[in-house]
Structure 1
Amino acid sequence: MSGSENTRDLELLNRVARNDRKAITLLYQRHNLRLYRYLLRFTKNDAIAEELVNETFLDVWRSAGKFEGRSQVSSWIISIGRNKAISLLRKRSDAELDDDYASGLEDDSDTPEVTTLKQDKAAAMRTCINKLSAEHREVIDLVYYQEKAIKEIAVILSVPENTVKTRVFHARKKLSDLLAKSGIDRGWP
């Protein structure tokens, strides 16, 4: 996320802290889809993911004045949603991560032609990503799909930056090996 986008988010969050309903609507519009897709990885259920998004933005509404600026606003929002999903999973013993389902969602920004070209490679990528451990899948998702920096991921996961760097290193190495074994050249950035 660019600095100007984060600046815009900070302005909106400051307005939310002053009970500006239009600002929370704009913040929701800017972040709900990405948050939904991220949370879908944890829940494997559309309705639950939608409910978690709504609960997350309710917490954003209530806690906007407490934002300390130690991360980007988008990372703070994802962190709130992630904590809600983890809490839900702890309560639901039958809930499992379902990366296949979430990874199969199309990105609305792609044209139909681009989507068609990506399907075969994307399916192979999903298969390889699904073979990674849960910790490695999560950092791959945050780095490449959520486009978060190491510092932001550390905030989201509540772990030291060096732990994130180590996880990313090992996840990329393992993913590279899996991709090579499946006949795909390095298909990720």
Structure 2
Amino acid sequence: MTEVSDEILLTRVASGDTAAMRTLYARHATRVLRFLIRLVRDEGRAEDLMSDVFFDVWRQASRFEGRSSVSTWMLSIARFKALSSFRKANDSALEPEMAEAVEDEADTPEVTVQKASKAEAMRRCLDRLSRDHREVVDLVYYHEKSVEEVARILNVPAATVKTRMFYARRKLAELLAEAGLERGWP
């Protein structure tokens, strides 16, 4: 089944083919999980959400309309699940015990040494972008999605994606400059 297209696999999944579902999962689980981890910033939560995503793929395979690639469709489901989890998290009040458990984010000597690593500095700069900007950067650069595909995943106009990319790049350049890194560092 490794040569079969995602669209055909999804058609088979819609008819209850568990082998097709396993193949689809094997192809896309890592990408979906990495996307979710970058969105929710919690690996355990991302794994739970990924299970929900693939459960929805199993249940909703027959609803796939083919207006985008299967991977784009699955990433849009993942994004919806992540955003829904944020809403649920915001609905619950922060308990005093939890507030005390929140770590002090002041730099320690160890963190200062880690910041010397350019890759670490880049990750830190990316983390400081707004969620909307991180999302667009993640989809375009890490998942290699086109502006149109990102627009479908985020359910926004393509012009909005372009605008977010413009401001995300600009902010990232500022953050990299603050971190003492040049744009073209190796």
- Shorter chain as denominator, the TM-score bin is 0.7 to 0.9
1:128-147 aligned at under 5 Å gives the runs: 128-147=125-144
Q: Is 1:34 aligned to residue 54 of structure 2?
A: no
In structure 1, the partner of 2:69 is: 72
TM norm structure 2: 0.78
Distance 1:9 1:187, change over 3 A: farther
Q: Distance in 1 between matches of 2:124 and 2:41?
A: 17
Q: Is 1:16 aligned to residue 41 of structure 2?
A: no
Between Structure 1 and Structure 2, how many residues are aligned? Answer: 160
Q: Deviations over 1:80-99 (max 9, x none)?
A: 1111111111111269xxxx
Say which of 161, 166, 170 aligns to 1:169.
Answer: 166
TM norm structure 1: 0.77
Q: Deviations over 1:107-158 (max 9, x none)?
A: xxxxxxxxxxxx9221111122122222111111111112111111101111
1:107-118 aligned at under 5 Å gives the runs: none
Unaligned runs of at least 5 residues, structure 2: 94-115
In structure 1, the partner of 2:60 is: 63
CA root-mean-square deviation: 2.2
Unaligned runs of at least 5 residues, structure 1: 96-118
Distance 1:47 1:131, change over 3 A: closer
In structure 1, the partner of 2:82 is: 85
Q: Which structure would you say has the larger Rg?
A: 2
Q: Distance in 2 between matches of 1:82 and 1:170?
A: 21
Q: What is the Cα deviation at residue 186 of structure 1? A: 2.2
Q: What is the Cα deviation at residue 187 of structure 1? A: 4.9
> Which stretch of the first structure deviates more once superposed, 159-168 or 179-188?
179-188
Contact residue 39 and residue 131 of structure 2 kept, 8 A: no
